[in-house]
Amino acid sequence: RGKRAFIAGIADDNGYGWAIAKALAAAGAEILVGTWVPALNIFETSLRRGKFDESRKLPNGSLMEITKVYPLDAVFDSPEDVPEDIKTNKRYAGSSNWTVKEVAELVKNDFGTIDILVHSLANGPEVSKPLLETSRKGYLAAISASSYSFVSLLQHFLPIMNPGGATLSLTYIASERTIPGYGGGMSSAKAALESDTRVLAFEAGRKGNIRVNTISAGPLGSRAAKAIGFIEKMIDYSYANAPIKKELSADEVGNAAAFLVSPLASAVTGSVVYVDNGLHTMGLAI
Ligand code: NAI
């Protein structure tokens, strides 16, 4: 039987999540998606109206099928955590059962088990502020949406993951080197995500024979990255300075992801894998 993957963090066809879904679909996996609740409507409408058909094309000419899209807000673990203003917000009121625990339950009821869990989401409301000017609230929100969201997803999905399965998240080098402009505690959130990758690799490895890795990706002009504001500069910088002189495509991250969650990588866990044209190796920009 083919593998079944749940990919959290797809709301259009531009980001890393979409490219990972395509690479996994091309390798024969069944694709389930978790989409941020406020973005659900437009994503589903666009899918239905064929807006993504061109980018759904797989190497063999067929179109990627998404078996099911689940509304998800990964900053809430269970219904008790949802504050009144969110509950009654009209972008949320039309959907239900979108906390992490409930989505895991729905996937269990619909499909029983999964083999692959991908976390391709991040949010930092104060990302454009330097860390020195970041509020406690903004910092904790960045950690909640970008780091704890992975802990929570793994916590709730591990019981329905088949042994031998694998999980993956996306990180950024701002965790270990200073990238001015990547603020709001987002650098801290990525550092936490990478540290958690090691600890969770041990815990999930021993508990369920599940692997945990993270890809440190180079810059991509996704929706989230454009919101930060300096992505074009980062893409130019990478082009000018990385060992491999080309623009990074989302598909290259998708392909590395497909390797990491496949049996080809059965001994790789707890790793930060760089998919960035080698930019991380450079100590001097020339
Ligand atoms: P994207 O915009 O395609 O993906 C981010 C997704 O997170 C969006 O679909 C958004 O709706 C979703 N999201 C935000 N808050 C959420 C929540 N509370 N619950 C559920 N979903 C939520 O952008 P991108 O850039 O592809 O991001 C994917 C991952 O790649 C992120 O972890 C990002 O930090 C990472 N990354 C991106 C780089 C870039 O240059 N674009 C570089 C290195 C890492």
> What is the 224 CA–ligand 1 centroid distance (Å)?
6
- For atom 7 of ligand 1, the residue with the nearest CA is 121
Evaluate if residue 75 carries a pLDDT over 90.
yes
ipTM: 0.99
pLDDT at 256 (0 to 100): 99
> What is the 286 CA–ligand 1 centroid distance (Å)?
30
Ligand 1 touching residue 174 (CB < 6 A) = no
Ligand 1 touching residue 222 (CB < 6 A) = yes
> What is the 192 CA–ligand 1 centroid distance (Å)?
16
Evaluate if residue 221 carries a pLDDT over 90.
yes
Active site residue 182: yes
Ligand 1 touching residue 217 (CB < 6 A) = yes
- Stretch 175-186: mean pLDDT, rounded? 97
Evaluate if residue 66 carries a pLDDT over 80.
yes
> What is the 275 CA–ligand 1 centroid distance (Å)?
16
Ligand 1 touching residue 15 (CB < 6 A) = yes
> What is the 89 CA–ligand 1 centroid distance (Å)?
22
Question: Could you identify the atom of ligand 1 that is nearest to the CA of residue 16?
Answer: 26
pLDDT at 286 (0 to 100): 75
Ligand 1 touching residue 10 (CB < 6 A) = yes
pLDDT at 283 (0 to 100): 92
Active site residue 16: no
- Stretch 117-126: mean pLDDT, rounded? 98
pLDDT at 229 (0 to 100): 86
pLDDT at 137 (0 to 100): 98
Marked catalytic residue, from 70, 172, 237, 274: 172
- Stretch 174-200: mean pLDDT, rounded? 98
Mean pLDDT estimate for the chain: 97
- Stretch 14-36: mean pLDDT, rounded? 98
Per the model's pLDDT, the better-predicted residue between 68 and 229 turns out to be: 68
Q: What is the pLDDT of residues 137-180, one digit of tens each?
A: 999 999 999 999 999 999 999 999 999 999 999 999 999 999 99
The 3-state secondary structure of the chain reads CCCEEEEECCCCCCCHHHHHHHHHHHCCCEEEEEEEHHHHHHHHHHHHCCCCCHHHECCCCCECCEEEEEEECCCCCCHHHCCHHHHCCHHHHCCCCCCHHHHHHHHHHHHCCEEEEEECCCCCCCCCCCHHHCCHHHHHHHHHHHHHHHHHHHHHHHHHEEEEEEEEEEECHHHCCCCCCCCCCHHHHHHHHHHHHHHHHHHHHHHHCCEEEEEEECCCCCHHHHHHCCHHHHHHHHHHHCCCCCCCCHHHHHHHHHHHCCHHHCCCCCCEEEECCCHHHCCCCC
Q: What is the pLDDT of residues 2-24, one digit of tens each?
A: 999 999 999 999 999 999 999 99
Question: Could you identify the atom of ligand 1 that is nearest to the CA of residue 223?
Answer: 2
